[in-house]
Amino acid sequence: MPFSLSRPLALLFLIALTLVGPWTPDLAACGQDGELEALLREERAEAALLSRRGEYRKARKILQQHLEDEPEDAQSAALLARVRLLAGDLERAETRALEVLEGSTQMAARRAAAAVLCDLWIELGRGDEALALYEGGSALLSDQDFP
Protein backbone atom coordinates (compact mmCIF):
# COMPACT_ATOMS: atom_id res chain seq x y z
CA MET A 1 0.00 0.00 0.00
CA PRO A 2 1.57 3.28 -1.04
CA PHE A 3 2.05 6.01 1.54
CA SER A 4 -0.32 8.93 1.21
CA LEU A 5 -0.58 12.14 3.18
CA SER A 6 -4.34 11.82 3.54
CA ARG A 7 -4.13 8.56 5.50
CA PRO A 8 -2.02 10.02 8.38
CA LEU A 9 -4.28 13.07 8.50
CA ALA A 10 -7.36 10.90 8.62
CA LEU A 11 -5.81 8.82 11.38
CA LEU A 12 -4.90 11.96 13.32
CA PHE A 13 -8.45 13.25 12.92
CA LEU A 14 -9.90 9.96 14.21
CA ILE A 15 -7.59 10.02 17.23
CA ALA A 16 -8.53 13.63 18.02
CA LEU A 17 -12.20 12.81 17.57
CA THR A 18 -11.90 9.90 19.96
CA LEU A 19 -10.16 12.00 22.61
CA VAL A 20 -12.33 15.11 22.35
CA GLY A 21 -15.59 13.75 21.02
CA PRO A 22 -17.54 14.99 18.07
CA TRP A 23 -18.47 18.67 17.92
CA THR A 24 -22.14 19.30 17.84
CA PRO A 25 -23.83 22.60 18.49
CA ASP A 26 -25.55 22.80 21.83
CA LEU A 27 -29.04 22.93 20.43
CA ALA A 28 -30.60 22.77 23.87
CA ALA A 29 -28.73 25.91 24.93
CA CYS A 30 -29.65 27.66 21.68
CA GLY A 31 -33.29 26.77 22.24
CA GLN A 32 -33.13 27.88 25.86
CA ASP A 33 -31.72 31.26 24.87
CA GLY A 34 -34.54 31.74 22.40
CA GLU A 35 -37.11 30.66 24.96
CA LEU A 36 -35.58 32.94 27.58
CA GLU A 37 -35.65 35.95 25.25
CA ALA A 38 -39.27 35.18 24.34
CA LEU A 39 -40.15 35.01 28.05
CA LEU A 40 -38.36 38.31 28.72
CA ARG A 41 -40.28 39.96 25.86
CA GLU A 42 -43.58 38.68 27.29
CA GLU A 43 -42.70 39.95 30.75
CA ARG A 44 -41.61 43.33 29.37
CA ALA A 45 -44.95 43.58 27.56
CA GLU A 46 -46.71 42.74 30.83
CA ALA A 47 -44.69 45.41 32.67
CA ALA A 48 -45.56 47.97 29.98
CA LEU A 49 -49.24 47.09 30.28
CA LEU A 50 -49.10 47.36 34.06
CA SER A 51 -47.48 50.78 33.83
CA ARG A 52 -50.14 51.98 31.40
CA ARG A 53 -52.71 50.88 33.97
CA GLY A 54 -50.90 52.84 36.66
CA GLU A 55 -49.61 49.73 38.43
CA TYR A 56 -46.05 51.03 38.58
CA ARG A 57 -44.98 49.00 41.59
CA LYS A 58 -45.84 45.70 39.90
CA ALA A 59 -44.16 46.80 36.68
CA ARG A 60 -41.00 47.86 38.54
CA LYS A 61 -40.88 44.52 40.36
CA ILE A 62 -40.87 42.57 37.08
CA LEU A 63 -38.20 44.76 35.51
CA GLN A 64 -36.00 44.87 38.60
CA GLN A 65 -36.07 41.07 38.68
CA HIS A 66 -34.90 41.03 35.05
CA LEU A 67 -32.02 43.31 35.96
CA GLU A 68 -31.07 41.26 39.01
CA ASP A 69 -30.91 38.17 36.82
CA GLU A 70 -29.27 39.91 33.85
CA PRO A 71 -27.75 43.32 34.66
CA GLU A 72 -26.92 43.90 30.97
CA ASP A 73 -30.60 43.70 29.92
CA ALA A 74 -30.74 47.18 28.39
CA GLN A 75 -34.30 46.81 27.10
CA SER A 76 -35.63 46.11 30.59
CA ALA A 77 -33.51 48.95 31.96
CA ALA A 78 -34.93 51.40 29.41
CA LEU A 79 -38.47 50.27 30.17
CA LEU A 80 -37.76 50.65 33.89
CA ALA A 81 -36.69 54.24 33.20
CA ARG A 82 -40.03 54.85 31.45
CA VAL A 83 -41.96 53.27 34.35
CA ARG A 84 -40.09 55.43 36.85
CA LEU A 85 -40.86 58.52 34.76
CA LEU A 86 -44.56 57.67 34.66
CA ALA A 87 -44.55 57.01 38.41
CA GLY A 88 -43.00 60.42 39.06
CA ASP A 89 -39.61 59.08 40.18
CA LEU A 90 -37.83 61.55 37.93
CA GLU A 91 -34.32 61.36 39.36
CA ARG A 92 -34.12 57.59 39.10
CA ALA A 93 -35.74 57.68 35.66
CA GLU A 94 -33.06 60.08 34.44
CA THR A 95 -30.22 58.08 36.00
CA ARG A 96 -31.42 54.80 34.51
CA ALA A 97 -32.07 56.29 31.06
CA LEU A 98 -28.62 57.91 30.97
CA GLU A 99 -27.01 54.59 31.95
CA VAL A 100 -28.74 52.84 29.05
CA LEU A 101 -28.04 55.62 26.57
CA GLU A 102 -24.35 55.79 27.46
CA GLY A 103 -23.66 52.13 28.15
CA SER A 104 -25.73 50.01 25.82
CA THR A 105 -24.98 48.89 22.31
CA GLN A 106 -28.59 47.82 21.69
CA MET A 107 -30.09 50.44 19.39
CA ALA A 108 -33.72 49.80 20.41
CA ALA A 109 -32.87 50.21 24.10
CA ARG A 110 -30.85 53.37 23.39
CA ARG A 111 -33.75 54.86 21.41
CA ALA A 112 -36.16 54.07 24.24
CA ALA A 113 -33.82 55.63 26.80
CA ALA A 114 -33.35 58.75 24.66
CA ALA A 115 -37.11 59.11 24.31
CA VAL A 116 -37.47 58.86 28.11
CA LEU A 117 -34.84 61.56 28.56
CA CYS A 118 -36.51 63.87 26.04
CA ASP A 119 -39.90 63.44 27.74
CA LEU A 120 -38.36 63.91 31.18
CA TRP A 121 -36.35 66.99 30.27
CA ILE A 122 -39.36 68.62 28.60
CA GLU A 123 -41.41 67.92 31.74
CA LEU A 124 -38.67 69.54 33.85
CA GLY A 125 -38.49 72.60 31.62
CA ARG A 126 -35.13 71.56 30.17
CA GLY A 127 -36.33 71.71 26.58
CA ASP A 128 -32.95 72.87 25.29
CA GLU A 129 -31.36 69.61 26.48
CA ALA A 130 -34.20 67.58 24.99
CA LEU A 131 -33.87 69.38 21.68
CA ALA A 132 -30.10 68.91 21.67
CA LEU A 133 -30.50 65.18 22.30
CA TYR A 134 -33.16 64.92 19.62
CA GLU A 135 -31.10 66.85 17.07
CA GLY A 136 -27.80 65.24 18.04
CA GLY A 137 -29.25 61.77 18.16
CA SER A 138 -31.47 61.85 15.10
CA ALA A 139 -30.16 58.41 14.18
CA LEU A 140 -31.38 57.18 17.55
CA LEU A 141 -34.80 58.75 17.59
CA SER A 142 -37.80 58.50 15.39
CA ASP A 143 -41.32 59.84 15.79
CA GLN A 144 -42.55 56.44 16.95
CA ASP A 145 -40.32 56.65 20.04
CA PHE A 146 -42.57 59.30 21.56
CA PRO A 147 -45.83 58.02 23.06
128-140 pLDDT per residue, tens: 999 998 887 755 6
Residue 140 has a pLDDT of 61
Query: pTM for the whole thing?
Result: 0.71
Residue 146 has pLDDT above 60, yes or no: no
104-128 pLDDT per residue, tens: 999 999 999 999 999 999 999 999 9
Q: Is the dihedral of CA 61, 62, 64, 65 positive or negative?
A: positive
